[in-house]
Structure formats: C-alpha cells, structure tokens
Amino acid sequence: MNLSTRAVATACASAAIAGGVFLGEWGLLAVLVALVVAFAAGWAPLLGLPAPGGTFFVVALPGLGALAAVHVTTTEPWLRYLPLVLAMGLLLSFTNELLRGDGRERLVESLVGGVSGVVVAVSAAGWIAASKVTDGMALVILCAAALAAASAVSATRLRGVLNSVVTLVGAVAVSVGVASVLPELVPLDGVWAGVVAAILVSSLQMLFHRLPALREPRAALAVIVLPVAMSGVLAYVVGRVLVA
C-alpha cells in the first residue's frame, strides 16, 4: 500500500468520524471501536514486535476501555477515568511480558512498543469527550474535516518541507471554510484545527515514510488509523482551550 493510498484511507477514516457523530454518541462509539481494533491489529506488525498476539490485547483492551469510560461519563471532567485506564494498560503491558513463553527476547522493545500503542489507542477516546463539550458536534466535524483535508493533500507527489507547507495550507483552508458555515464556530477556530491537523499528519508521514514494514497490510492499517486515533485528545484540547 503506497503513501497516496494510505493518505486517502486516513481521510476516509476521518470522514467516518464526522459521519459517526451525526448518529449520536453510539454512532461515534461504533466508528471508534472499529478504528481501535484495526489499530491494535496492526501495531505489532508495524513495529515488528516479537509477541503480536499479546500486543494486540495489550493495545485493544485499554483502548476499548477508554472509549467505554468516556462514553458512560455524564459530567465533567469527561476524561477523569483516563489516567486509571492508562495505569491498567501499563500493568497489562508488564503482565503480557511476564506471560511470554518465547524466552522474552527483545523484552524492552516489546514493552515500550506495547505501552506506546496503549497511549495511542486510549487517545481515541478524546473524540467522544470532544463531542460532549459545548457545540461538540460542530467541533468534531471541524477537527475531522481538518484531518481529512490534511491527509488528502499530503497524498501529493511533493515531498519534504514543500509537502508540509502544502498540507498546512490545504488543511487550514478547508477547516476555515467548514468553520465559516457552522454557526457555532468562527473562522479562527478553523485556523487552529487546520494547523494542529497539518502538523500531526506531516510529522507522522515523515516518521513512517519508506518504512519496510508497511508492505504488510496490517501494518499499513495501523498507520492509516494512527493519526485519527491521536487526533482524539488533540480535538478535545482544541475544543476546551482554543475554541471555547
């Protein structure tokens, strides 16, 4: 799967977030559950971790637990249970290493890879928290549109700094346009959302570009979902600090 295909797939995943929020919390939750499971399935192949089966559960269970915890929270702070979920994920990572029966080769690499996957998977719950703030639906649509635009524009043949600049301009232009037509938001909100999305997409593209593991379909799937999952907490921050 080449870079352009992955970028378009990420844009589609972002659009699914925007579509899910239209269906309410349950619709958004269903989309995020699918994305977290897909990410967990591809994380170990992406990093070449030695215990892919155990790593899948290490990443998926805290990610799904975080979604459930934020979903059932009815009052602020919406992310109050995330530290507990992260702590349980860390404990699960150590337990997975203790249960390995392969001699525990590359122990540190496997442990760090599992913990980093937990952080990304748990971050996806930020989308649900963002949908619960004031004008949350508009905020989620804005951030999802900015991420989709940044991902789509990054699929061009341009590389390096020029690609990052074009991605920034495209993401800001689209998100400002979206913010302008949503009565709950102002164009400046679109600027913040576009800048955050462009920085995230450009950074991850530079990080994973030409990685040999991406020839494996599950690894490519993890890279596709990665920016969407990480954007969850970022969308919440944009909503609470920059937009509110």
pLDDT at 179: 92
The domain limits of the chain are 3-243
Return the C-alpha torsion angle 66, 117, 211, 158, nearest 10.
40
Instruction: Count Cβ atoms within 10 A of the Cβ of residue 207 and give its class: 0-12 exposed, 13-18 middle, 19 or more buried.
Output: exposed
Give mean pLDDT, residues 78-91.
94
Report yes or no: 118 and 86 within 8 Å, Cβ to Cβ: yes
Q: Sorting pLDDT into bands at 50, 70 and 90, what band is 240?
A: confident
Q: Sorting pLDDT into bands at 50, 70 and 90, what band is 32?
A: very high
pLDDT at 230: 94
pLDDT at 239: 78
Q: Sorting pLDDT into bands at 50, 70 and 90, what band is 214?
A: confident
Look at phi and psi of residue 133 and say left if phi exceeds 0, alpha if psi is from -120 to 50, else beta: beta
Give the C-alpha separation, 219 to 179, whole Å.
34
Least Cα distance to 157 among 1, 11, 4, 5 occurs for: 4
Give mean pLDDT, residues 228-235.
93
pLDDT at 1: 65
Q: Sorting pLDDT into bands at 50, 70 and 90, what band is 58?
A: very high
